Structure 1
Amino acid sequence: MSVHWEKSQETEEQIHVLIVDSHRPFAEGTRALLSSEPRIVISGIAGDEDSCLNFLRHSVPDVVLLDFYLQDISGLDLMDKIKAAHPDVKAILMVEQSQEGYVLAASRKGAEGLLLKTCAVEELIQAVLSVSKGGVYFSPSPLTFSQVEIDFHDLHFPAKPAEVLKRLLTPREKEIMGLLTKPLHNREIAAVLGITARAAHLQVKIILLKFGINTRLEAVLSWAYVDE
């Protein structure tokens, strides 16, 4: 299920897109797919934070396609830097698997879209066209868009009842919270769960976003009320 809306149907002009992905073959493949749409122009490809920010010093695209898991920085953090310098740039995050936390984190951080890397070319093109016109495009979404918005507003409250915190987390995230209370560091959490340290870091970050807090200690203290 996809969630999208378009703000307007004004006269269409060419849309300039920057692709940021650590995996060069995927980036080149994405360039080839988007190039089939005459309204889209690929301005460039960047493989890491430095090359992305250097590119933006000389040319500002309309839309940036961002890998959620870059090698040197998370896509969320890089998106923050891009939007701080260029607020009008639209960002679409690309993920390898569908998780509610990705949608929630991306929407709260201000992304205009989120797509699976395995999405059809038609959907990829539609997402770029939609966000370039001021719309949003999240696909797939485990939640309806209204539910995402409700959770998003919930996160603005500094303190949440235990039942709200419990509702916000997936079973995997609850498992991670249990490991955080041990306490374990990201590499130790990664070893227990059989994932990379980078993936563990992003999972913890998503939990902090859901709780609306900034530190692991705050998360542990908040979880203590849930686990009673």
Structure 2
Amino acid sequence: MIRVLLADDEALVRAGVRAILTSDREIEVVAEVATGGEAVELARAHRPDVAVLDIRMPGLDGLSAARDIRTATPDTAVAMLTTFGDDAFVARALDVGATGFMLKASDPRELIAGVRAVSNGGAYLSPSVAIRVLAELKRGDLGRGALARARIERLTSRERDVLAMVGTGLSNGQIAGRLFVVEGTVKTHVSAIFDKLGVQNRVQAAIVAYEADLVDL
């Protein structure tokens, strides 16, 4: 069962999101709140698998709540749910440790897919958001590719294989199946990759993989 904490300051939105998520028999909404501060408190109390947070909430906003939740309960994955698709919000969300970013206007199935992905240690960006992020990377300075290739030189051959699979959005369990190893071994590789690349989450690692040409657009 995937245990979810939901935070949004609009009661109607919370009710809709809860209905969508609980339509999946493997997802349970264990708490729902209207502010970021409450989200942090209940994350400490319930230790959910996933926190789904609106970006703009009164008091402590979703981005600040995401940062605090990731610090207080590192095993809780964070997915941002918002009406705002601005690239600046995406960058800030990734910086504070979120590994999911879904738009409220998206297909409801994306919400379920996103929660499932981040709960399994993967990452998820709504397709419309992912297209903009990758397009921006493609337009970026070519020097970023050289820098990324230099960064992955520190990785072992197996770690590069794992990074490439992280770049395609595979979870630890899926990677373990591809490599015929136990999931714990993959977690060890992913942790080493994060340390060597100086990244905080799977989305940032996937960007390095893309820039280093380990993953095709």
- Shorter-chain-normalised TM-score: which range? 0.5 to 0.7
- Tell me how far 1:40 sits from its aligned partner: 0.5
Separation (CA, whole Å) in 2 of partners of 1:129 and 1:146: 26
- Tell me how far 1:85 sits from its aligned partner: 0.7
Separation (CA, whole Å) in 1 of partners of 2:84 and 2:36: 22
Q: Deviations over 1:24-65 (max 9, x none)?
A: 110111001111101111111011134223323321100000
Hey, what does 1:47 align to over in structure 2? Answer: 34
Bigger mean CA deviation after superposition, 108-117 or 124-133:
108-117
The yes-or-no answer on 1:107 pairing with 2:94 is: yes
The yes-or-no answer on 1:89 pairing with 2:76 is: yes
Hey, what does 2:63 align to over in structure 1? Answer: 76
Hey, what does 1:60 align to over in structure 2? Answer: 47
Contact 1:66 1:91 in 2 (8 A): yes
Aligned residues between the structures? 139
Matched ranges for 1:141-220 at <5 A: 141=129, 142-144=132-134, 147=137
Separation (CA, whole Å) in 2 of partners of 1:127 and 1:103: 15
Structure 1 letter corresponding to 2:50: V
SS class of match (2:133):
coil
Call closer, same or farther: CA 1:100–1:73 in 2, change over 3 Å.
Answer: same
Structure 2 letter corresponding to 1:24: A
Hey, what does 2:116 align to over in structure 1? Answer: 129
SS class of match (1:97):
coil
Contact 1:103 1:138 in 2 (8 A): no
Hey, what does 2:165 align to over in structure 1? Answer: none
- Tell me how far 1:147 sits from its aligned partner: 2.1
Q: Deviations over 1:53-106 (max 9, x none)?
A: 332332110000000001112211111111111011100111213211122111
Separation (CA, whole Å) in 2 of partners of 1:145 and 1:54: 37
Contact 1:93 1:115 in 2 (8 A): yes
The yes-or-no answer on 1:29 pairing with 2:19 is: no
Hey, what does 1:159 align to over in structure 2? Answer: none
- Tell me how far 1:145 sits from its aligned partner: 8.0
Q: Which has the higher helix share?
A: 2
Contact 1:64 1:92 in 2 (8 A): yes
Which structure 2 residue ranges, 5 or more long, are not aligned?
145-217
Call closer, same or farther: CA 1:105–1:49 in 2, change over 3 Å.
Answer: closer
Contact 2:36 2:62 in 1 (8 A): no
Call closer, same or farther: CA 1:108–1:50 in 2, change over 3 Å.
Answer: closer
Call closer, same or farther: CA 1:130–1:27 in 2, change over 3 Å.
Answer: same
Normalization by structure 1: what TM-score?
A: 0.56
Separation (CA, whole Å) in 2 of partners of 1:43 and 1:143: 32
**CA RMSD, aligned part only?**
2.2
Q: Deviations over 1:184-208 (max 9, x none)?
A: xxxxxxxxxxxxxxxxxxxxxxxxx
Percentage of identical aligned residues: 29
Contact 1:18 1:44 in 2 (8 A): yes
